[in-house]
Amino acid sequence: MNTATNPAMDAGTGRALPSNIPDYLEHLRRALAGADPALIQDALYDAEEYLRSELAENPGKSEAEVIAQVASSYGAPDEVADIYRDTEVKVQTALRAPPPRKARSLLGRFFGVIADPRAYAALFYMVLSLATGIFYFTWVTTGLSLSIGLAVLIVGIPFTILFFGSIRVLALVEGRIVEVMLGERMPRRPLYGDRGKPLMQKIAGLFTDPRSWTTLLYMALMMPLGTAYFTIAVTAIAVSLSFIAAPVAVWLGYATVNPDFEGWMLLGVQDGVFGTSLGYVALPLLFATGVALFFLTLHLARGIGYLHGHLAKHLLVKTAQYA
């Protein structure tokens, strides 16, 4: 690493500036302690990208000289940390949907979910998760199987490296889907990595990084989770809409009450004592049940979306590095 005999000083705090890029990033990481792990990952990636590009444009200067040069424009680690915290608050405020008007009564809170866009986004994610779950599971099982099968061949090593690299890319893609649909803050930049490390250390980091293995676990779990989410969403929506549509069809004259299909009565029962049909009496109850089930489905989708967002955050974002 390049060092400076007389380290430059930060004009704002009077502290010595880091003498190399890894130290700068470490200072920035500590300055962001307690912030969202996804925000820290983005800040570290942006800082390294900027400092490396400045170093490439000034090949005759050391890392310490480049850091001192950009301190007034990009900022010292503490200043950059404050900027990212302030910017994150502004961005989240701008992107956040207007909060629905809070209802005081229990019924108001129950029916107020219909105005929450997160409920619909989570419901759509539940439907979409079947396709993404199948893709992730297939990718993981196929990649691991081929990696193990090709391990005895020379081609197996580069294949395994490419497979683990693709896992990180898919984690970033899934993170963007989770943030957009479920509202959980996820990384918007790739995982920060010290580019000053030798190539072999970077490759070893792919396999020793716990995040690589938790990402594999997440993608394997998405198959059963996606199937369950899809089944719950489709079944609940289909049943609730059918309960709502059936009485409406009867009232509009497009259907009849108590059609007999080989002994099975639909939309009601026949009262043997009075000889009258109870189907028409049951229609309002069936309609009300369908409406209630629809609102329950939205509440359930919002709850599942909240829990799944936290699961994705726990398994896809590298938190141990920032502790």
Tell me, yes or no, whether 142 and 74 share the same domain: no
**Count: domains in the chain:** 2
Tell me, yes or no, whether 139 and 279 share the same domain: yes
Tell me, yes or no, whether 127 and 53 share the same domain: no
Please report whether residue 68 resides in a domain: yes
Please report whether residue 115 resides in a domain: yes
Please report whether residue 4 resides in a domain: no
Last residue of one domain, picked from the residues 41, 73, 95: 95
How far apart are the C-alpha atoms of 178 and 308, rounded to whole Å?
A: 9
Please report whether residue 7 resides in a domain: no
Tell me, yes or no, whether 70 and 180 share the same domain: no
Last residue of one domain, picked from the residues 71, 95, 119: 95
Please report whether residue 314 resides in a domain: yes
Mind listing the pLDDT tens digit for each residue in 195-241? 666 677 777 777 888 888 999 999 999 999 999 999 999 999 999 99
Please report whether residue 1 resides in a domain: no
CA atoms within 13 A on the CB side of 72: 5
Tell me, yes or no, whether 77 and 125 share the same domain: no
Tell me, yes or no, whether 191 and 309 share the same domain: yes
Give me the pLDDT at residue 121, please. Answer: 94
Tell me, yes or no, whether 174 and 247 share the same domain: yes
Tell me, yes or no, whether 170 and 289 share the same domain: yes
Mind listing the pLDDT tens digit for each residue in 128-139? 999 999 999 999
Please report whether residue 3 resides in a domain: no
Please report whether residue 71 resides in a domain: yes
Last residue of one domain, picked from the residues 43, 64, 95: 95
Both structure tokens of 224? 């059963």
Tell me, yes or no, whether 242 and 199 share the same domain: yes
Tell me, yes or no, whether 260 and 301 share the same domain: yes
Structural domain range at position 49: 21-95
**Helices 279-316 and 210-251, axial angle in degrees (round to 10):** 170
Does this model's pTM top 0.75? My answer is yes
pLDDT tens over the chain, length 323 residues:
444 444 555 545 546 778 888 888 888 889 898 888 888 888 888 888 888 888 888 887 888 888 888 877 788 888 888 888 888 887 776 666 666 666 667 777 778 888 888 999 999 999 999 999 999 999 999 999 999 998 888 888 899 999 999 999 999 999 999 999 998 989 888 876 656 666 777 777 778 888 889 999 999 999 999 999 999 999 999 999 988 888 887 777 766 665 544 544 455 444 444 344 445 667 788 888 999 999 999 999 999 999 999 999 999 987 644 33
Tell me, yes or no, whether 280 and 262 share the same domain: yes
Tell me, yes or no, whether 247 and 306 share the same domain: yes
